[in-house]
Amino acid sequence: MRAVITVIGKDNVGILAKVSTICAEYNANVMDVTQSVLQDMFAMIMMVDISKMNSDFVVLGDKLKELGDTLGLSIHTMHEDIFNSMHRI
């Protein structure tokens, strides 16, 4: 089971570190990270393994959203199934 974390907003020092720290806290293993600049916006996409998490997946999403709010970034944590179903036939 994997989830996709996306961070969209203005680039800043330490975003990756802060997001991965929270992932580590909940034992969500970061498997891959890509970064790109799209329409002047910084976008970071992380794929994390959520099968061995030590708490509910939803809690991780809430925590990351909170972080996003304090940093002025929009952080979404979504189960990979949604991308599978939308973009794969």
Determine, following the binding rule CB under 8 A, whether residue 81 of this chain makes contact with another protein: yes
Q: Are 5 and 76 in contact (CB under 8 A)?
A: yes
- In the list 16, 22, 47, 67, the residue contacting another protein (rule: CB under 8 A) is 47
Position among 16, 22, 45, 71 found at the interface with another protein (CB under 8 A): 45
Q: Is 40 in the site for another protein (CB under 8 A)?
A: no
Q: Does 85 sit near another protein (CB under 8 A)?
A: yes
The three-class DSSP label of residue 51 is coil
AA identity, residue 64: L
